[in-house]
Structures are given as structure tokens and as C-alpha cells.
Structure 1
Amino acid sequence: MQRPALALAAVLCCAAACDAPEAAGTLHTFTSDAAGFDTHSFYYDTGREVVVFDAQFTEPLAQALVDDIRAHTDSPIRYVVITHPNPDKFNGVGPLRAAGATIVASDATAAAIPGVHAYKRAAFIANGTFTEDTYPPEATVDLTFADTLQLDLLGDATIELQVLANPGVSSTQTVAHIPAIDALIVGDLVHHDVHAWLEGGIVDGAPRPDLTAWSAALDELRAWGDVTVHGGRGASAPVELAVAAQQDYLRGMDEVVREYVAGVDDPDAFTGDAAAGHYAAITEAARAAFPERGLDYLITYGVYGLVASLSE
């Protein structure tokens, strides 16, 4: 089950600077429209160079990201860090590489990209969102690392990349710490104030959600101390608030989906003609459980992975 055809309409983007002093550099936020799944790409401008975190779902969206960077700084784009192997994080690497960036990802993320790309390409072509000719080409990575990597930038700026012990929203998760502004970039590990994509990581050609591991990955974020967490969707938040709220959400959604699945006698109902109705009902239950959270379409189109894992 995938999100149906979405017109690549005008990009809704914001460039919101953090409150950090200019000497420490500035973190900006670019946000796609729903055609790109309301995905944040953050970019850190040191005043001398730019590091981008996550590359957007399509090349046109990535080009809009490049244009947004150019509207705010003349600093060269040096790196793009892919936080995890989901297509809204890596599909758009082409325009960023063309702008001069080196594409960086962990060994685990780089190894997962081909399988995720093949799975998602087939699914999006099957549901009519893309054709064989229009789906983005498979992303490649220029620089990989095993567990940790420090990006030494011009001047005294540094960015510390760390692969978490637990996979989180996908099959592997990298976070990026920017010490100068006490920022922690965590990709879709955190969806603060909005619903989350509950498909799970694509492993061996199938979704494999693990909410227990996701919660454990969130616990790991506390090791960075008093930082602001910047997630792949929704608002940024202090680490304790972000972790606690996301863990509460995961527990709540596990209960919502388990209860719904238990009430359906035929497990094939989630893949047959009645599937859309069931996913709409689960979305409504999620909306009732978490009325303050936005982007509930992420449940409608992403919860199939969690449903499948609970109905096996």
C-alpha cells in the first residue's frame, strides 16, 4: 500500500534560522509539500560552507532545496548526509551532487539503498505515481563510514556522525551532532507533533517494522545531553521532550493497530479490495488517539508495514 499519485505541486519550504549566534553558523530548514511527504532537509551554513542533511524524495524537490540554499547563502555546498535509507532521504542526491556536494552515508545505509530503491520503485510505478521513466535513479554514495565520522569543516566547525546501535524508523539510523549550536539531526527517528511513517525498514524486499528497537534508538539520543532534536518531519524540540513524546506515540500506535488487527477475522482483508477501508479506519483511530498530531496521511499510507507484522 503506497501513497496514491501526488502532483509535484509548488514546494512549500521554509528557511528558519536557529537562535544560535551567527559566529556558530546557522541551521536552516527546507520542507517539501505533500508530494515529497512533508519532509525536512536541514542545512547548516558555517558562513564558509554548507552541509545538508537528507536529499528529498525527487530531483525537482532537491533542486528546489539547492535553490533555497542559494537564496540564503553563497557558501559552497560541501556535503550531503543521508540519515537513513528511505527514498525521501536519498532519491534527490543528483542535483546536490551537481551543485558540488559529496554524498555521505554509513556503510549500512549505503548497502541498504539498492534494495530499498528497487522495492519503492516497483511500488510507486505499480500505483501510478511514477512511470518507468520518471522514478528517480538509484542514489549512489561518495563517502561511507562504519560507525562514526567527524566532518572537519573550514575554520573550527565540526559535525559528528554516529550510527545508532538500534535501527529506529528504518533498518539503520545515523544521527548528526553539531556541537556549535547544540543540534542533533535525527531524520525520521522523530516526528514531533505529527504522525509517523510506520512502514518499517525495507529488508530482503519486505517492510520490517520494530517499534521496540525504535524506542531503544530514541533512548540513545539522551547520550548527547541538552541538545535540540531536529526530526525529519514536524517541530524541533529539546531532547527529553522529543524522546518522551515519540516513545509515547509509538506505544499508543502499537495499541491502536493491535486492537484493530485483533478485531479483523480475515488477515487477507488488509491486502484485498477492502484494504483501503481498513487503513482509513486505522487512520481515524490514530487521529482520535493523537488529535494534536498532524499529517495523518502518513498513517493511511505507511501503517501497512506495522499491520502486516501484527497480522502474521
Structure 2
Amino acid sequence: MKLIVFGVLLISTFVCSEQKIYTFESDHRGFHTKSFFYNNGEEIIAFGGQFTPQIAEKAIEFLRTKTTNPLSYLIITHPNPDKFNGSSVFRKHGAQVICSQSTAVAIPEVHNYKKYYFVHIAKMFTEETYPQMPMIDIVFEKTLEIYLRNGERFIIEEHDQPGISSTQTLVSFPLTKSLFVGDLIHHKAHAWLEGGIVNGQAQATIDLWMEHLDYIVANYSDYKVYGGRGEAIYAVVAVKEQIRYLKTVVKITKTYIRNLGNSKGELKGSEAPKHHKAIENIIAESFPDYKVNYMIRFGIYGLINALLE
């Protein structure tokens, strides 16, 4: 049953000081997605539901090598399948799945768009084997504060303008100054440049993405940021580098399109993959210490769509 809540979810009133964060990272079959498990000493809050239930099970197995504390929540930070496809496993292990209203609205379209791609184009799944659309237990609008059993508080914020996806959620833990941002920040890892899926089209919105980043550094400058890929690092450093990365990627892609001249129509035809790979190579050369280059190749089409308009 879906629970719609407003404002505050209160559980208890005493604060413990045994917080730890465990990190599980999938391999390339799960797009190197990270699941974070925030352990406050009594219970677990999870981020990153993984791309498939099978990988989600591995994430839970990893968690159980660290602690037997109960899993209370899985929070979906944005409507991309690597964040929600494995959520049924987290629910099976006791977690309530939480997402914002705007994310809940976006998930069905994203699910159908991605299912079509992975079943009919990439042929990685069949109609029967592709993960089911997630069940959401708690939906909130704008902001939700949750007090855990030991009294520790965390805040979930909905930002319903596009960034890495069509809508973003930030989750902050004031006691430990920890901030979970989904894929808005990939420190030292290449970004997913597809953008949000709206009306069946992918289009990156880099300017709005950078507005999210400006908000993070303005409000959480002394927090440590945990992104969907890459390294955890303090917000001031993470945001500065992410903005530099995005501006450089836009410049490189614009230059590539301009140099194609009358051949730029190839960017949306059967020749598109070779151009995506070529752009990947240029960006990778500009950021030689960055990981997961393939993120560029498969996501760059969304940025190209935006720049061709």
C-alpha cells in the first residue's frame, strides 16, 4: 500500500553515535552503480536499488557481511532504472521504498522507455525477464523529515526540475553531515548525459543540472557527498569539479557537432554510434583519471538532442 506523507515521519527520540556508511558497487552488468547503506547503529537506510533484482541481492548479501541491523528504507533519488529496478529485493528484506511525488509520476514512462531499449534493441532481456516496475511505499511532496528509532533525523528534499534526470532528490543527515545525491555528482567518474525522459524523448538539461549543483554547494558546503558513481568527497570540491566537467563536455560536443557541418544529420541515424564513440574518446582524453568511459557513449545522445535543437 502506498502511503502519502507530508512533513515529518517520527519514530523515536534518542541519538546514538555509531554511524557508518557501507558501499557496494556493481560490475559493468549493473553499470557500476553504487548502493550506499547508512547504518546509524540501530537500522539501515539504503540508496541505489541497483539495475536488476539479482544485483540487488548481491548488495544485500554485502550488507549482511557488515551488520545484522534491520533495513528500514530504500530511497529512490531519481527515476533511472539502476536506482529502482532492484527495489523489490530491498522490500523483501524489510525496507520501505520512498520517493518524491515527481519521481513516482516519472517512473512509469522511464520504465517503459528503458524496457523497450533493453528488450528490443540491446536484447539483454525478454519481456518476461525485464525487472518489474517498482512498488512505492511512501510518496512525499517537496520535503520529508524522518526521525529514526534512536532519534537521528534525516531530510529528503524533492527538486522537481530536470538535472541528471527529469527530477532529483537530495537526502541529508545533519548529524554526520552526509549528503546523498544520486547521479547529480560522479566525482572522478564520467556522467550519464542522457537527461530526463519526457514524452518519449531524452534530452539533457545541463544548465538546470548546474543549478542543482549550485544549490548543493550553497546549502551543504561542509557535507560529504555520496554520488551514484565515483568517489565520495566534500561538496565544495565535488561541485566545482562536476561543473568543470559538464562545461567541458558541452564545449567538446558543440565543437564536434559544428565540425560535422552538413553531416551532422548522421548524429541521429544509423551512423550515430560511431560518432558517440568518437565523442567518448575526446572526452575521455580530456579527463584521463576518470572511470567508466562507457557512460559517455550510451548517454551522450541526450546531450546531442539538446544541442541540435
Question: What's the TM-score once normalised by structure 2's chain length?
Answer: 0.91
Query: 1:187 aligned to 182, 187, 202, which one?
Result: 182
- 2:150 matched to which residue of 1? 155
- 2:274 matched to which residue of 1? 277
1:205 is displaced (CA, Å) by 1.1
Higher relative contact order (CA closer than 8 Å, sequence separation 6+): 2
- Alpha carbons 1:165, 1:217 under 8 Å: kept: no
CA distance in 2, matches of 1:49, 1:132: 36
| AA at the equivalent of 1:141 | I
List per-residue Cα deviations over 1:202-255 (Å, max 9, x = no partner): 111111210000000001112023110111100011111000000000000000
CA RMSD of aligned residues (A): 1.3
- 2:251 matched to which residue of 1? 255
- Alpha carbons 2:224, 2:235 under 8 Å: kept: yes
- 1:95 matched to which residue of 2? 89
1:310 aligns to what SS in structure 2?
A: helix
CA distance in 1, matches of 2:174, 2:24: 21
List per-residue Cα deviations over 1:140-170 (Å, max 9, x = no partner): 2110110111121111212111123643200
Instruction: Determine if the alignment matches structure 1 residue 292 to structure 2 residue 286.
Output: no
1:266 aligns to what SS in structure 2?
A: helix
1:180 aligns to what SS in structure 2?
A: coil
| AA at the equivalent of 2:50 | Q
Unaligned runs of 5+ in 2: 1-15
Query: 1:121 aligned to 115, 118, 143, which one?
Result: 115
- Alpha carbons 1:125, 1:135 under 8 Å: kept: yes
| AA at the equivalent of 1:183 | S
- Alpha carbons 1:166, 1:216 under 8 Å: kept: no
1:290 is displaced (CA, Å) by 1.5
Aligned length: 291
Structure 1 window deviating more from structure 2 (286-295 vs 92-101): it is 286-295
Summarize the alignment of residues 46-57 of structure 1 with structure 2, pairs less than 5 Å apart. 46-57=40-51
CA distance in 2, matches of 1:301, 1:129: 15
| AA at the equivalent of 1:243 | V
CA distance in 2, matches of 1:259, 1:130: 36
User: Greater strand percent: which structure?
Assistant: 2
Structure 1 window deviating more from structure 2 (47-56 vs 242-251): it is 47-56
1:136 aligns to what SS in structure 2?
A: coil
| AA at the equivalent of 1:249 | Y
1:303 aligns to what SS in structure 2?
A: helix
Instruction: Determine if the alignment matches structure 1 residue 45 to structure 2 residue 39.
Output: yes
Instruction: Determine if the alignment matches structure 1 residue 169 to structure 2 residue 164.
Output: yes
CA distance in 2, matches of 1:143, 1:229: 24
Question: What's the TM-score once normalised by structure 1's chain length?
Answer: 0.90
1:42 is displaced (CA, Å) by 0.6
- 1:29 matched to which residue of 2? 23
- 2:10 matched to which residue of 1? none
Q: CA distance change for structure 1 residues 186 and 239 in 2, over 3 Å: closer, same or farther? A: same
